[in-house]
A and B are shown apart, each in its own frame.
Chain A
Amino acid sequence: NAGVTQTPKFQVLKTGQSMTLQCAQDMNHNSMYWYRQDPGMGLRLIYYSASEGTTDKGEVPNGYNVSRLNKREFSLRLESAAPSQTSVYFCASREDRGRLEFYNEQFFGPGTRLTVL
Chain B
Amino acid sequence: AQSVTQLGSHVSVSEGALVLLRCNYSSSVPPYLFWYVQYPNQGLQLLLKYTSAATLVKGINGFEAEFKKSETSFHLTKPSAHMSDAAEYFCAVSPTQGGSEKLVFGKGMKLTVNP
Contacts and interface: CB of A to CB of B under 8 A. Distances in A.
Contacts of B86: none
Interface string B39-65: 001111110010111000000000000
Interface stretch (A42-50, A70-78, A79-87): A42-50
B43 A90 contact: yes
**Per DSSP, are chain B's interface residues mostly helix, strand or loop, or mixed?**
loop
Contacts of A44: 105
27 contacts: A4-B43, A41-B107, A42-B90, A42-B107, A43-B44, A43-B90, A44-B105, A45-B103, A48-B102, A90-B44, A92-B44, A100-B53, A101-B51, A103-B32, A103-B49, A103-B51, A104-B32, A104-B94, A104-B100, A104-B101, A105-B46, A107-B46, A108-B36, A108-B43, A109-B43, A111-B41, A111-B43
Interface residues of B, number: 25
